[in-house]
Each structure stands twice: as C-alpha cells, then as structure tokens.
Amino acid sequence: MKICCIGAGYVGGPTMAMIAHKCKDHTVTVVDINQARIDAWNSDELPIFEPGLDEIVKAARGTNLFFSTDIDTAIREAAIIFISVNTPTKTYGVGAGRAADMRYIEKCARKIAEVAEDDKIVVEKSTLPVRTAESIKCILEANSKGRKFQILSNPEFLAEGTAIADLENPDRVLIGGDQTPDGLAAIQKLVDVYAGWVPRENILTTNIWSSELSKLTANAFLAQRISSINAISALCEATGANVDEVAHAIGTDSRIGPKFLKSSVGFGGSCFQKDILNLVYLCEHFGLPDVAAYWNGVIEMNDYQKHRFCRRIISTMFNTISDKKIAILGFAFKKDTNDTRESAAIYVCQDLLEEQANIAIYDPKVPAVKIRQDLCVADDNPYVTVCKGNKKGSVYLYIFRLTVSCGWGFLFDYGKEFTDRASQWCLPCNQPWELSSGSLYQRRGAPFL
C-alpha cells in the first residue's frame, strides 16, 4: 500500500521512518513545501536530531521511504494520507495568542480535494482542536466529485529526544474515526498498519472527537504535573524543604507515580504551551470559563517559574549580574534534540541579557545561527558568545563563574574533565534547579567576574 505524509517535521519524519522501517510492504513518501528540509532528509545530515533516527532513515530511504516536494503525485498515489503539518498558536485575528492556527491544515485539505483521483483515508497526525475533522470533512466533501474520504484522528504521543524508542514501543496508539461501516473499515485499515509492530491490545480505537481531545488532554496533564511540582519548589525554598525529596516521597505513591515530578525552570518545546492555550480557547469557546481558568493556571505557573529562576540568580549574585560571566550549557528545550521551540533557555538567556550579563552558550546540536536568531542578537553582540566549532572550548572560560545547565550540555560533551572541575569548583545553589534539564551552579567561594 502507498502511504503519504504531508509535513516532514519532527513528527512526520520520524513517524513515517518508523512505519517504513517496520512495514516493508508499504511504500511511504513524506512530502513538504520546504525544499531545504526535504533536501536535508535526502542528505547525510538529517534536519532533525533524534537518537536512532539516522540508522532507520538511511536503511529505508530509497527503498520504501522517500522524501519529496512533489506533493501532488504523492497524494494522488496514496491510499492513506497523513497530515502532519505544524499547528502553531494563532498570532492574529480572532483567538490570537490562544487558538491553534489552522491555515496549514486547511491548505492540506484543499490540496487533497484538488488532486485526489480516488477514495482516500485522511489521517490527522497533527495535534488539532476537537472537532477539526468536521472542517476537513466539510472541505473534502464540498469538492468530492464522487470520491469518498474517511477522516481519522491518530494523534502522536512521541516525546522529542526519545522519539524513536517511543515510536518503536508506544504505550498506546490511538485511532479515532466515524462509527459507521465506512469509518470502521478505515479505522481497521490504519490499525493493520500499526499492527505490523504494535501489539493489538496497545492500539486503542475511539470515536473521532475523543481521539482529538485525548491528545490535548494528555499534554495538559503532563504539563500540569510540571507546574504543580514547580509551585511546590517555591514553597520548598521558602520553608527549607528539599523539592527533590518531596518529589521522591510523593512519587513513590503508586497513585501519583514518579514521572514528570522533576522541579525545573519550566516546560518548553513546541507542544505543551500551545496545546494548553488551545484547550483554554476551546473551553472559552464552549462557554466554560472556569475550566479555561483552571488550565490557564498551568501556563501562568510556568511563566512565573522561568522568570523566578533569573530573579534567583540575580539575588544570589549580590543583586547584580551586569558584566558577570555565565555559561549556558544546552540551548535546545531538552537534551537529545536540536529543537529550540519555546526552550526555557531562550527565556533564561533573555532575562540574563536584560541584566547585561555576559553569556557564553554551548549546545552540541543547535547551530550558532539558530541560537542568535532565537535570542534576536547580532553576530557582534558583545554580551553573547556562541561556542561552536573551534570556539567551543571558550565556554570553559565561563563555566567556572556561573553555569546554567539547560539539559545535556552539562555532562554530555565535556566528559571527565568538566565533571572533575565541576565537582571541585561548583556548588549547587541551595536547591539544585533543574531545567527539564540542568542545574544552577555557582563557583565555590570565588568572586564572580
């Protein structure tokens, strides 16, 4: 069977690579309007870093996995079309700042309606507001010309940094569709694809609205745990309790469990914030302001924590960090990814720069140009050093003053030399502060320069 995926991003690329890797009988073509991204997927340097991704892409590429900008042909030939394009928060018009921007999804639906020549199963892989399938169906049916379209919802639960392991061994695959004979047949067709490697009992099928809403709900629950433990971290600092000990103590309760209880500078990444904002918007739209306010609190706590972290650095350093050298290890939103979207490191750096600190940033996977772009600073900004390539070692000059470790930069690339010096010279500031990720360390007894 031929499968097409529109959108060659952090979800489309890895998920389709996994289908091609596991289901040799299917031919999978991933298409995108972004020529540079497709070129990178076809090169030795993939546009996305994920442990294990290189191996499966390179093994299947050119055999039953293809990357292309020829969107029309891929749609025309496929029986199943995944839509995996971005759904960022809307920045304009009605719902700006909260609602999901649906323009990319709509363009995909119109493109499918325009070029499809026979019946298709269209799968929502992107995270979408509940009842989006209705709009997609409306667009497709208005232009059906006798063709039949079945819309399924199949949200993706992978986490960046562990995408390949998550895809290979998912807790569950969720597939929602119409509960009609045609809808159930379409669900079964997609179930058969995943059953190529996922145990049948881990493939859940639901009605389409439940599936759409489950993805937003899952992200809201995960983010809520982070905000909850972060709220408690502020209380721990005020009272002398240790947030790691509290987290461990409550996490051993089987009703609570240990995951997502690491106090941090707050969650980042492209999904949590946007999906909760979207949930808040939906609640308001459906006349549920109290429910909206409840979920909005999760975002408010996250913002509070990010800025509290910087205020803490400043107060620890005699209320001024002007011209003081601070090393930032790791810039992506967490380790094992090159994705910087909504990275807490961006907010931390911006707050530090506002106080005229002198920062040196090192991340093994994020290009220097991307770091500068995210911080909106020019190449010659005297306060920002990006330590890449042969300038990489210069981050050492900063490490011994103050180090903010945002993820994997801390131990990953520095090895024994850094850990030895860190243990000799660095002291966790009262409570260790972990970004979804790292800690705040301060040179023992030395003046900050």
Number of residues in contact with ligand NAD under rule CB under 6 A: 26
- Rounded to whole angstroms, the Cα distance separating 108 from 71 reads 10
Looking at the DSSP bridge assignments, the partners of residue 4 are 29, 81
Looking at the DSSP bridge assignments, the partners of residue 83 are 6, 124
Binder among 158, 261, 359, 395 for ligand NAD (CB under 6 A): 158
> Which candidate in 5, 23, 236, 271 is catalytic?
271
Q: Which stretch binds ligand NAD (CB under 6 A): 32-40, 131-139, 306-314, 344-352?
A: 32-40
- Rounded to whole angstroms, the Cα distance separating 375 from 346 reads 6
Nearer to ligand NAD, 36 or 238 (CB): 36
Strand segments (E) across 285-329: 325-329
Least Å distance, CB 66 to ligand NAD, is: 15
Least Å distance, CB 40 to ligand NAD, is: 10
Residues 300/224, Cβ–Cβ less than 8 Å: no
Is residue 406 part of the annotated active site? The answer reads no
Least Å distance, CB 222 to ligand NAD, is: 11
Two tokens, residue 46: 């993939």
Least Å distance, CB 267 to ligand NAD, is: 12
Task: Classify residue 100 by its DSSP letter.
Answer: B
Residues 229/243, Cβ–Cβ less than 8 Å: yes
Q: Which stretch binds ligand NAD (CB under 6 A): 4-12, 50-58, 187-195, 416-424?
A: 4-12
Two tokens, residue 423: 């243990």
Q: Which residue is nearest to ligand NAD (CB)?
A: 9
The contacts of residue 418 (CB under 8 Å, 6+ apart) are 399, 410, 411
Order across the sheet with 358-362: list the strands: 384-386, 358-362, 325-329, 402-405, 440-443, 426-428
CA-angle at 202, arms to 198 and 207, nearest 5°: 115
3-state SS, residue 152: strand
Q: Which stretch binds ligand NAD (CB under 6 A): 33-41, 291-299, 324-332, 351-359?
A: 33-41
Q: Which stretch binds ligand NAD (CB under 6 A): 153-161, 306-314, 317-325, 342-350?
A: 153-161
3-state SS, residue 285: helix
Binder among 33, 40, 232, 397 for ligand NAD (CB under 6 A): 33
Nearer to ligand NAD, 340 or 358 (CB): 340
The interface mask with ligand NAD, positions 54-73, x = CB under 6 A, is -----------------x--
In sequence order, what DSSP letters do the residues of 344-367 get, joined into one string?
A: HHHHHHHHHHHTT-EEEEE-SSS-
Site for ligand NAD in 301-340 (CB under 6 A): none
Q: Specify burial of residue 60 (Cβ count, 10 A radius: 0-12, 13-18, 19+).
A: buried
CB count in 10 Å sphere of residue 218? 15
- Residue 113 identity: A
CA distances (Å), origin 417, targets 278, 410, 411, 420 = 45, 12, 10, 5
Least Å distance, CB 110 to ligand NAD, is: 9
Nearer to ligand NAD, 122 or 426 (CB): 122
Binder among 37, 98, 308, 312 for ligand NAD (CB under 6 A): 37
3-state SS, residue 408: coil
**Does residue 273 bind ligand NAD (CB under 6 A)?**
no
Nearer to ligand NAD, 104 or 294 (CB): 104
Least Å distance, CB 12 to ligand NAD, is: 6
Two tokens, residue 266: 């707050």
**Does residue 126 bind ligand NAD (CB under 6 A)?**
yes
Binder among 11, 109, 208, 213 for ligand NAD (CB under 6 A): 11
Least Å distance, CB 195 to ligand NAD, is: 21
- Rounded to whole angstroms, the Cα distance separating 219 from 212 reads 12
Nearer to ligand NAD, 125 or 388 (CB): 125
Return the H-helix or E-strand segment holding 382.
Answer: none
Report the candidate in 335, 364, 173 with the shortest Cα–Cα distance to residue 269: 335
The interface mask with ligand NAD, positions 71-110, x = CB under 6 A, is x------------xxxx----------------x--xx--
Least Å distance, CB 363 to ligand NAD, is: 18
**Does residue 127 bind ligand NAD (CB under 6 A)?**
yes
Q: Which stretch binds ligand NAD (CB under 6 A): 26-34, 49-57, 59-67, 322-330?
A: 26-34
Two tokens, residue 15: 């998920």
Binding site for ligand NAD (CB under 6 A): 6-12, 32-34, 37, 71, 84-87, 104, 107-108, 126-127, 156, 158, 160, 270-271
- Residues with catalytic annotation? 271
